[in-house]
Homo-oligomer: A and B are copies of this chain.
Amino acid sequence: MGYAAFAERMGQVNDILNAKSILGWDARTMMPPGGAETRAKQLATLSVLARDHLVADETRSLLDKAEAEVSGLPADSVERTICAQTREAIDYHLRIPADLVRRRAETGSIGQDIWARARADDDFMSFAPVLEETVSLNREMAEHIGYSAHPYDALMHRFEPGETVASLKTLFATLREGMLPLLRAIAEKEGPRFDFLQRPFPKDQQLAFGLKMAERVGYDLNRGRLDTTVHPFEVSFTRNDVRITTRVVEDWMPACLFGSLHEAGHALYEQYCDPAFTRTPLATDLVGLYAVGGVSFGAHESQSRLFENHVGRSREFWELNFAEAQATFPDQLSDIDAETFWRAVNRVAPGFIRVEADELTYDFHIMLRVDIEAALIDGSLKVADLPEAWNAKIKEYLGLDVPNNRLGVLQDVHWSSGQIGTFCNYTIGNVMAGQLFEVATKDAAVAEGMASANYVPLREWMTEHVHRHGRRYSRNQLLEKATGRALDPAPYIAHLTAKYSEIYGI
């Protein structure tokens, strides 16, 4: 009875956070323009309510009783894990003063407007003061959250628990060591042809094909739907309603296709969480106050990148599925073969904009941001020196001269919304995807499925080893159970090396 009452209370927290997610999805897909201002207030109220409902005296009293009731169970039982995670989250929120949360939200809401104007005008200095304030507020947050080595570690905790500046330093060095030579070698070679991807591909057929490929890798439309937005995303309102969006560019066919596969990968993580975890903290990020079943942003990204890149950009996938692409787009693809298509969608092209980056250069955009954020937080980099530091790194990694701050330091929305500490998960996700895919494809059924366009065994392997666990285990516990070791970049580097060596004849 004690535990059941506590569980129902936590179900309500999950309900509130799912309601917030639904309002957010609606705002990005369906809401008429006039609704923006009052929608922001509705979202803010649900945020405050969720936090207050979680830390309320009543929740804590129910938690006390629940803990007493389940104290005889093993420490790693679902019930005790839920109690422990809830207590940790309540402690986390109580450490952060309500006033600081409010000031950060206010700065974020002012910041977005200032940033949008600064970016339009290519005027970094008009954004600098609010960025200074954001850095200062996040530094204050870090002190309240607590850390042992670096204040940036505290900020990453909400997105990638356990990751630290120190651990990332090692990881990034290994990645650079493996990837920079590859990038340098590619720069010397002629790239594959890709002109045909820029032919006009009708919107409706692009969406139909994107959705078909999403369903092929396992996305369940009975518990999902696809819409279009400027920036694709996935969001879940319990495992029973997991929605994805994509974008359509008429003369750039990969945008819709790989956007759909990427978000479908995210969606699988949510759709195949253990149904018993629905409305529990194992499907709720109580620290970040977000209803999600994935254990970290990096773990989530591992599933999107795995289905986008390891599956969707593989030679084997197009050997088996290209005929269907041709049937959907006869006017655009009848003179192209599977091999040419596969090479084209793997073309490497260093550029300034992170969200447009290819599989190989993407991580360099991430490394530069993480290093810069950590330096801003520990004070070793001043906001005023940010553009120079940014541009130097782009030159060092990608060999490009940043022509203006719109193509440089002003490109991302993240800082303007008050968030610092969010970037590392993209690279963590790539590394995890490599590691999980290597082990999964050693399974005979998975390998056989991959060779016959049957992606059910792969999805089932991921469900068994990743999806179903929700937030029960930490990211590294999950990796150890699934692959026998913690985060290891070797398979990812091997994957990149093998693929690009072949395509570029290195």
Q: Is A22 an interface residue (CB 8 A)?
A: yes
**Of residues 32 to 76 in A, which have CB atoms within 8 Å of B's CB atoms?**
32-39, 41-42, 44-46, 48-49, 53
Contact mask for chain A residues 7-25; partner B; CB cutoff 8 A; 1 contact, 0 none:
0000110011011101100
Cβ–Cβ contact A240 & B11, under 8 A: no
Cβ–Cβ contact A35 & B241, under 8 A: yes
Q: Is A237 an interface residue (CB 8 A)?
A: yes
Q: Is A465 an interface residue (CB 8 A)?
A: no
Known interface pairs A15-B41, A16-B49, A22-B22; A34-B237 also in contact (CB < 8 Å) = no
Cβ–Cβ contact A32 & B224, under 8 A: yes
Known interface pairs A30-B30, A32-B241, A33-B222; A278-B23 also in contact (CB < 8 Å) = no
A22's partner among B23, B32, B238 (CB-CB below 8 A) is B23
Cβ–Cβ contact B15 & A46, under 8 A: yes
A114 to chain B, nearest CB (A): 24
Q: In the bound complex, what is the Cα–Cα distance between A31 and B236 (angstroms)?
A: 11
Q: Which B residue's beta carbon lies closest to that of A26?
A: B22
Q: Is A343 an interface residue (CB 8 A)?
A: no
Q: In the bound complex, what is the Cα–Cα distance between A12 and B43 (angstroms)?
A: 10
List B contacts of A144 (CB < 8 A): none
Known interface pairs A19-B19, A19-B42, A238-B35; A225-B49 also in contact (CB < 8 Å) = no
Q: Is A223 an interface residue (CB 8 A)?
A: yes
Copies in the complex: 2
Cβ–Cβ contact A221 & B32, under 8 A: yes
Q: Which B residue's beta carbon lies closest to that of A21?
A: B42
**Of residues 109 to 153 in A, which have CB atoms within 8 Å of B's CB atoms?**
none
Cβ–Cβ contact B237 & A39, under 8 A: yes
Q: Is A279 an interface residue (CB 8 A)?
A: yes
Cβ–Cβ contact A240 & B37, under 8 A: yes
A240's partner among B15, B20, B34, B46 (CB-CB below 8 A) is B34
Cβ–Cβ contact B223 & A32, under 8 A: yes
Classify the secondary structure of A's interface with B. helix
List B contacts of A34 (CB < 8 A): 220, 222-223, 240-241
Q: Which of A35, A224, A243 is the most central at the interface, judged by chain B CB atoms within 10 Å of its CB?
A: A35
List B contacts of A241 (CB < 8 A): 31-32, 34-35, 38-39
List B contacts of A222 (CB < 8 A): 32-34
Cβ–Cβ contact B11 & A41, under 8 A: yes
Known interface pairs A49-B49, A223-B35; A42-B18 also in contact (CB < 8 Å) = yes
List B contacts of A38 (CB < 8 A): 18, 237-238, 240-241, 278-279
Q: In the bound complex, what is the Cα–Cα distance between A461 and B458 (angstroms)?
A: 64
Known interface pairs A35-B241, A38-B279, A41-B279; A19-B23 also in contact (CB < 8 Å) = yes
Cβ–Cβ contact B30 & A42, under 8 A: no
Q: In the bound complex, what is the Cα–Cα distance between A241 and B278 (angstroms)?
A: 31
List B contacts of A32 (CB < 8 A): 221-225, 241, 243
**Of residues 437 to 493 in A, which have CB atoms within 8 Å of B's CB atoms?**
none
A residues lining the B interface (CB < 8 Å): 11-12, 15-16, 18-20, 22-23, 26, 30-39, 41-42, 44-46, 48-49, 53, 220-225, 237-238, 240-241, 243, 278-279
User: 12 other contacts beyond A30-B30, A32-B221, A38-B238, with CB at 8 A cut-off?
Assistant: A15-B41, A18-B38, A19-B23, A32-B225, A32-B243, A34-B220, A34-B223, A35-B241, A38-B240, A38-B278, A38-B279, A49-B49
26 A-B pairs within 8 Å (CB atoms) are namely: A15-B45, A16-B45, A16-B49, A18-B38, A19-B42, A19-B45, A22-B22, A22-B23, A22-B26, A22-B42, A31-B241, A32-B221, A32-B223, A32-B224, A32-B225, A32-B243, A33-B222, A35-B223, A35-B237, A35-B240, A36-B240, A38-B238, A38-B241, A38-B279, A41-B279, A49-B53
